[in-house]
Chains A and B, each alone.
Chain A
Amino acid sequence: MAEHHENNTHGSMGQLMTGFVLAAILTIIPFALVMSEVEMNRTLLIGIVMVLAAVQIVVHLVYFLHVNRHAEQGWTVAGTLLSVIILAIIIVGSLWVMHNMNVNMMPEMDHSAMPVAPAEAPAAPAMDHSAMPGMDHSAMPAAPAEAPAAPAMDHSTMPGMDHSSMPGMTTTTQPASN
């Protein structure tokens, strides 16, 4: 009777020590690999550390937390699996979305993309404001080449429009600055 009770709730000395030894080994290996600065492919080393962490989490669940199919008629396992699924969605989803956002970010906002196109983005708004109606576009060497880059923003090339009434274009009301 007593053994049965211990099995289901607090585990046994054997379980505790098995868990301890496994956890210690699974902790020492990644620390040793990183601290000895072993010669190894960086991606492979990161992969090894992550896999060992995942294995150790399972070891803790089984030997320390006693999650198994029999405890609470299997509801603890069900709860654990649900949270693992939600965690996977949260973490993988966040990384995926944020990676895509970084890739598609405007170059001036993204430092990693700076060397690729340093001049393009700052040039577009500056060109917009300088292209005032009545001005000779051909006199501006940069304007014809860059104009197609931002057609939606280039309202100023349309003659007869009152630019001061357009939201977001308030700087065009100060032609003296040009």
Chain B
Amino acid sequence: MSTTQMTQGGAAVAPAHGDDHAHHESPTPLGFWIYLMSDCLIFGTLFATYAVLGYNYAGGPSPKDLFEPGFVAIETALLLLSSVTFGMAMLRAVKSDMKGTILWLVLSGLLAVGFVAMELYEFRHLIHIGAGPTRSGFLSAFFLLVGTHGLHVTVGCIWLITLMIQLGQRGFCEANMRRLNALSVFWHFLDLIWIGVFSFVYLVRLV
């Protein structure tokens, strides 16, 4: 990586074009952050829904009948490790190490797929024992909040695959670095939301 590309100290995503003047910055990082904050508000309303409806069991099962803290702990570990491995991938990408980057990205993707698989298994199990989203207000809110998070992780995995193909085609060009950075922020953000889920949806209700 040439030093001319590294002189853009303030540029938040990718090294800027060398031929541009010094203050050129891509609007993508800030725009993507604003998108994430709006996404954060969606999750906030779903958390509020769960807070309001979370005690309406309609005579059905309560969190203590359904949730297994050990299972949630493994899900949490998968997501946190995935976040860290994505951070490793970003550190390799800055060094223009394609092999290392792809390796860490694949690992992040596998951890996230494991997380989604566990969540789907949990959903299937709950529906199977008659604790589906139609059972009570509590379960409707639970499936909506946790399902929305799982959907985000799934979309993140699809994005990861397409980005790895793009990296293979064009390498660490400016556009790919910008995309990689946006996905990195998205990935860490989903882990951040999961902190709220495992604390507020699972652990607090098992006390």
List A residues at the B interface (Cβ < 8 Å).
Answer: 1-2, 4-6, 8-13, 16, 19-20, 23-24, 27, 30-31, 34-35, 42, 45-46, 49-50, 52-53, 56-57, 60-61, 64-65, 71-72, 75-76, 79-80, 82-83, 86-87, 90-91, 94-95, 98
Which chain A residues border B69 with CB–CB below 8 Å?
31, 34-35
Any A CB within 8 A of the CB of B48: yes
Residues of B within 8 A of A91 (CB): 44, 47-48, 51
Contacting residue for B184 out of A4, A10, A83, A87, CB 8 A: A10
Q: Does B188 contact A (CB under 8 A)?
A: yes
Contact B91 A13 (CB under 8 A): yes
Chain A interface mostly: helix
Query: Which of A12, A24, A50, A53 touches B80 (beta carbons < 8 Å)?
Result: A24
Contact B181 A9 (CB under 8 A): yes
> For chain B residues 16-42, which have a beta carbon within 8 Å of chain A?
29-30, 33-34, 37-38, 40-41
Given contacts A5-B15, A8-B10, A34-B206, 4 further A-B contacts (CB under 8 A): A2-B1, A5-B94, A35-B69, A80-B37
Contact residues in B for A8 (Cβ distance below 8 Å): 9-12
Please name all residues of chain B whose beta carbon is closer than 8 Å to the beta carbon of A72 when the two chains form the complex. 12, 29-30, 33
Query: In whole angstroms, how far apart are the Cα atoms of A56 and B80 in the complex?
Result: 11
Closest beta carbon of chain B to A170's beta carbon, Å: 31
In the complex, which residue of chain B has the Cβ closest to the Cβ of A45? B207
B8 touches A5 (CB 8 A): yes
* Contacting pair A87 B52 (CB below 8 A): no
Which residues of chain B (53-106) have a CB below 8 Å from chain A?
69-70, 72-73, 76-77, 80, 83-84, 87-88, 90-91, 93-94
Contact A2 B6 (CB under 8 A): yes
CA distance A54 to B49 in the complex (A): 19
Cβ of B53 to closest chain A Cβ, rounded Å: 9
> A27 touching B87 by the CB < 8 A rule?
no
